[in-house]
Amino acid sequence: MSEKPKTESPDPFAPVIQISDLMMQSWADVLSQTVTSPAFAKSMGEQMQGFLEGTKLVRQQMQAAMEQSLQQLNVPSREQIVSLAERLTHVEMRVDDIDAKVDECLDLLQSIQETLTKGKSER
């Protein structure tokens, strides 16, 4: 009994896979050409511009609604908090300036006192 060499049965899905691969490649080529065309870029730019304009309008409406809600709740808005922070910064700078001037005055008074003390001790 001699053994017959085993012959592999043909894959029934091989033609389907081959057709699928060819279709995928052809679609990839077509889409690649479409996406790289100037007309597609222009179209996408116009669509994006329209989307951004719509988003801007929605954002403005939401901001107005939020400000109105915060105002009704007696909660300060972002602009009010920023304004207050700027004012506090200016006050802090002025306090620092006054502190520096007070230090200068104290140094001057101390030097005057030392001069007077030396003058009394020399007499």
Reported as a single tens digit per residue, the pLDDT across 41-96 is 999 999 999 999 999 999 999 999 988 998 899 998 888 999 999 999 999 999 99
Alpha carbon distance 122, 109 (integer Å): 20
Cα distances (angstroms) measured from residue 61 to each of 58, 80, 94, 121: 5, 19, 39, 79
Full DSSP string of 3-58: PPPPPPPPPTTHHHHHHHHHHHHHHHHHHHHHHTSHHHHHHHHHHHHHHHHHHHHH
Residue of 52 and 8 predicted with greater confidence = 52
What is the reported pLDDT for 119? 79
**Greater confidence, 10 or 38?**
38
pTM: 0.44
Confidence of residue 23 (pLDDT cuts 50, 70, 90): very high
